Structure 1
């Protein structure tokens, strides 16, 4: 039997049983869509998190009050501190040779009002250096002025969304707003940027750190951001900061120092494992599709017994008969896999238009889903195809219920 004749028989069988062929093709397509869609969602989440942390800059270290021992997993985010971080600590860190700039942080919720418009706003007390460290830009006005860390001044920078909610269509620069029990003059409006590290910058109020300490009646700092002079200062900078704070805190190492790389490694590992787990769960649908192919192929073998007998009587070899049935399954798997791949890419594209998340399927998932679909089809079609190949011509050509 020539290859062209075999291909013609395969295509003819698929056309002759359109509903069966469409059912198998749809089952394979759904399995491939499930694998690619779920891994695309996990990969999108991973890229989104990496993009958020990349805004910190690779040379940024974050000092947290409180000591938590870690074993390479997710760095601690909260914890009780035996000793607070202070503005004096931040100033001392800024004088270290490896540190380019430092920004203390004080944070909390405050009621902000302009006239009869009132709302709750996330308020951040910091310094001018924070804008450079976090790569924040202002669309109007200017950032916070360069002040001594312990100098309180009644100025603020507000997010674009907060500006619209408090001032409407009126200009905000130079106007006064009330935050808590104090008044602040707006000197700048942040450029539109959306959320970053769980904070909506559009709804943020930024004031000098000394002013925030007075408003919150709290001297201890929430965080200290330290930007190093370059990647070559990473290890030395960590040692210098830890040694300095240990000396300042009566010999106790009661702070936690984390870097962007450690956070990225933790999130990357977690989300990478999640992507593999989701791909494994979705791959079960391809195994179900393979079982469906096996059942349908069994039925096809029984329905086409006479055709098989005629082919063998005309000289078709067992491997050629087996190849006909395996070829049908393989062709359906490839067609269904490609259709599922196109459908999943279309859905991920739609998701990218609706949400600001880089949803995309990694290359290994696309190739793996197609390969798994083909492998499942071949494996599950092999057994019934083998039965067809073993049929004897005379037995296959005998009519049902006929006598020997």
Structure 2
């Protein structure tokens, strides 16, 4: 092996020769090779997994809110004064939004539809079966604004907002658990202490805006206000006639509600783009943070590379002396050890990429509704950090090998670390 390396290095070393030499060396010292591959691959895999999940969460949230379309305004009770912050998505405020507010807003110029929302959890009974389910009080306009369709039966009818009616549209999971046999249309459910007749079954919608529509019961908003004993709305969805009117209609909404609420602007009107922008910024920063934390694990691999390179230098002292005695310069010896560390790091990083993508693919197969994706910057960053850490930590041991005196190295004498 030494004579082969002398021949290669005496002629400035071709890249294929150097690669073959390092591969033979790594195969011969398989245990330390395995340890470095494991350390590097774990670090790279952690970066890909965390960024993939973070990017998936970002895309999931953006996809959920983009269902509203760019022609919808969200009116929330409570005022958020700090610019750039999140609106009060909990729906808590000093003054309630009312059905009268919704009626007034529906008649404003440029407004196409208004859908009030009251949401709560309550027991739902049918034929001896009982489940605590999400009950959504709304109007027929909500189905249009949200793009909800029924697979069987009909959606909620067009009713005056203040008119209660014993009607319900249920999700597919509600049907499977409470009405598993027979035709569910026309069946009576007990929602809280009120009876509701099923008149429609929603199509499979999955989770939407934080609500699993498969396990939801949609009823008229006035009925929901009776069940939950409330006069305030959770929020309002306002659809404009054309996306170009969004800013104008927003100003009209704020002015109208301010006049109705005693001259105080105590509501927050947000657009889909504003909500998406805030969530996009927060989740992007979160993804960067977890990627940075995961990248720190690559430092552990770098320390392991440095220690193993030091051991390699001490074990190959005579080889270094013979190379230098036959004409190999300091740069060539230096590059010999650096290339070994870089090759180890590259192989470990590629293994980590393979495992990371495999785990993300399995996760997506199990939860297909959750989009997992590794950003290109995360992939390139993980590979770059892995190679950079290897180069940084192997530099000093490689430099030490390059500075060895040929005579001392031929004797097998390892120079002091200070030399």
**TM-score, normalised to structure 1's length?**
0.95
Partner of 2:310: 298
- CA RMSD after TM alignment: 1.7
Aligned residues between the structures: 401
Is 1:383 matched up with 2:392? no
1:40 equivalent among 33, 42, 52: 52
Q: Secondary structure at the match of 2:95?
A: coil
Task: Give unmatched runs, 5+ long, in structure 1.
Answer: none
Equivalent positions of 1:18-57 (< 5 A) are 18-57=30-69
1:359 equivalent among 347, 361, 372: 372
Partner of 2:406: 393
1:10 equivalent among 18, 22, 38: 22
Partner Cα separation in structure 2 for residue 393 and residue 292 of structure 1: 27
Deviations, residues 346-401 of structure 1 (Å, cap 9, x unaligned): 00001111223111211100011001111111111111111111112111111459
Q: Secondary structure at the match of 1:107?
A: strand
Partner of 1:153: 165
Equivalent positions of 1:5-404 (< 5 A) are 5-78=17-90, 80-355=92-367, 356-400=369-413
Partner Cα separation in structure 1 for residue 287 and residue 104 of structure 2: 43
Q: Secondary structure at the match of 2:363?
A: helix
Partner of 2:417: none
Partner Cα separation in structure 1 for residue 269 and residue 18 of structure 2: 68
Q: Secondary structure at the match of 1:310?
A: helix
Q: Secondary structure at the match of 2:148?
A: coil
Q: Secondary structure at the match of 1:178?
A: strand
* CA positional deviation for 1:79: 5.8
Q: Secondary structure at the match of 1:106?
A: strand
Deviations, residues 112-170 of structure 1 (Å, cap 9, x unaligned): 22232222222111111101111211111110111222222221111111112221122
Distance 1:98 1:331, change over 3 A: same
Distance 1:130 1:322, change over 3 A: same
Range with greater deviation from structure 2 (282-291 or 191-200): 191-200
Partner Cα separation in structure 1 for residue 91 and residue 225 of structure 2: 20
Partner of 2:8: none
Assess if the C-alpha contact under 8 Å between 2:61 and 2:279 holds in 1. Answer: yes
Partner Cα separation in structure 1 for residue 19 and residue 191 of structure 2: 77
Partner Cα separation in structure 1 for residue 193 and residue 20 of structure 2: 84
* CA positional deviation for 1:110: 2.9
Deviations, residues 178-233 of structure 1 (Å, cap 9, x unaligned): 22333222110111122222212112111112222333332222211101223322
Range with greater deviation from structure 2 (316-325 or 59-68): 59-68
Partner Cα separation in structure 2 for residue 77 and residue 351 of structure 1: 29
Partner Cα separation in structure 1 for residue 23 and residue 118 of structure 2: 71
Range with greater deviation from structure 2 (339-348 or 197-206): 197-206
Task: Give unmatched runs, 5+ long, in structure 2.
Answer: 1-10, 415-419
Distance 1:14 1:70, change over 3 A: same
Deviations, residues 50-74 of structure 1 (Å, cap 9, x unaligned): 1111112222211122223232111
Assess if the C-alpha contact under 8 Å between 1:9 and 1:324 holds in 2. Answer: no
Partner Cα separation in structure 1 for residue 50 and residue 353 of structure 2: 12
Distance 1:8 1:312, change over 3 A: farther
* CA positional deviation for 1:294: 0.9
Partner Cα separation in structure 2 for residue 32 and residue 322 of structure 1: 26
* CA positional deviation for 1:304: 0.4
Partner Cα separation in structure 1 for residue 313 and residue 353 of structure 2: 30
Assess if the C-alpha contact under 8 Å between 2:91 and 2:234 holds in 1. Answer: no
* CA positional deviation for 1:80: 4.9
Q: Secondary structure at the match of 1:360?
A: coil
